[in-house]
Amino acid sequence: MRDGEDLPLQLKGVVKSGIALKAIHHAISRVKQFNNQNNHFPVEIRSVGIGGSSIRSEDPNDIDLFVEAHEIKNIWEWRKFRGTLNSNVYELNKIALDLHKREGKVTISRMIEADKDELLALGFEELWIKNWFKWLRCSDIGWGPLVVRVAKNEVVNFSEYQLISRFIKDGWRGKRLEVHISSFDLRGKRITRDEWQRVIIWKKKKRTEKIVTPNEKDIHEHLQNEYKKLLDISKKIIKAVKLGKAWETPTG
């Protein structure tokens, strides 16, 4: 993509919604920024796809984006960071509580500004704080206005999935942007199991990246597969209701 303004023209025949085109433009721009972080992140995004009402409707309820994230060598450093997070969740809550007592509110950015020395003392490295810790949310460590205590064995709700999703969504103003992530390990083996229907619109291979314009066959096949999946779900719902097990209604 030489110029971001070319994107709507390239995909205009595929995506009917103007707001969806803007969301795609935003997402691909953010994906490129994500990949250009000098390997500071633990994964590289190698494809972006769209699906759902983003293709079918001129006025979608939300925008469904699908990305493929491949682990890179920095994944080992990331795992050390996550291990440090999980082993210090109780201490992080104490820092948050003290900050709340001093200032009346708590944000991750303010925690970094005011209590960076304490974070370093807990074992967080400078680069971790600069590149990863800032994408945390207070709720990830169990902090909230009514939550002042957590168990010492609590696990922080922050993985590469939250990292990718928050980075891509950052700066977006518009309809809800849903980011679905398929993960691959260092050998290229799929980690996550997904059956999402999507059409690929952007790819990265080594140092080459390009917009992929789906043809009519791709679109028809996508819509046909999506229809079959929705039909299958409908049949399962009807069966569950007939058996009196509506609470077990399947979603896929």
Tell me the CATH number at 32: 3.30.460
> In this structure, are 68 and 165 located in the same domain?
yes
- If one compares 151 and 203, the residue with the highest pLDDT of the two is 203
| 104 close to 88: Cβ distance less than 8 angstroms | no
Type of residue numbered 116: K
CA separation for the pair 83, 63 (Å, rounded): 33
* 141-154 CB burial, b ≥16 within 10 A, e <16: bbbeeeeeebeeee
Provide the pLDDT confidence category of residue 5 given band limits of 50, 70 and 90.
very low
Q: Is the pTM of this model over 0.95?
A: no
> In this structure, are 67 and 181 located in the same domain?
yes
CA separation for the pair 71, 186 (Å, rounded): 5
**Which contiguous run of DSSP H or E holds residue 47?**
strand 43-51
Domain that holds residue 126: 76-141
The string of pLDDT tens digits covering residues 67-91 is: 999 999 999 999 999 999 999 988 9
- The neighbouring-strand residues paired with 44 are 70
**Mean pLDDT value across residues 214-234:** 65
Q: What is the DSSP string of 80-92?
A: HHHHHHHHTHHHH
**Mean pLDDT value across residues 207-236:** 69
**Count of the separate structural domains present in the chain:** 3
> In this structure, are 126 and 184 located in the same domain?
no
Provide the pLDDT confidence category of residue 148 given band limits of 50, 70 and 90.
very low
CA separation for the pair 34, 37 (Å, rounded): 6
Task: Express as a percent the part of the chain with pLDDT over 70.
Answer: 77
Phi and psi at residue 208, in whole multiples of 5°?
-105, 135
Which two three-digit tokens encode residue 120? 């370093």
Q: Is residue 154 part of a domain?
A: no
Which two three-digit tokens encode residue 93? 């809550």
- 113, 141, 169 - which closes a domain: 141
The string of pLDDT tens digits covering residues 172-197 is: 998 999 999 999 999 999 988 766 67
> In this structure, are 219 and 204 located in the same domain?
no
Residue 44: its pLDDT value, please? 95
- Mean confidence (pLDDT) of the chain: 82
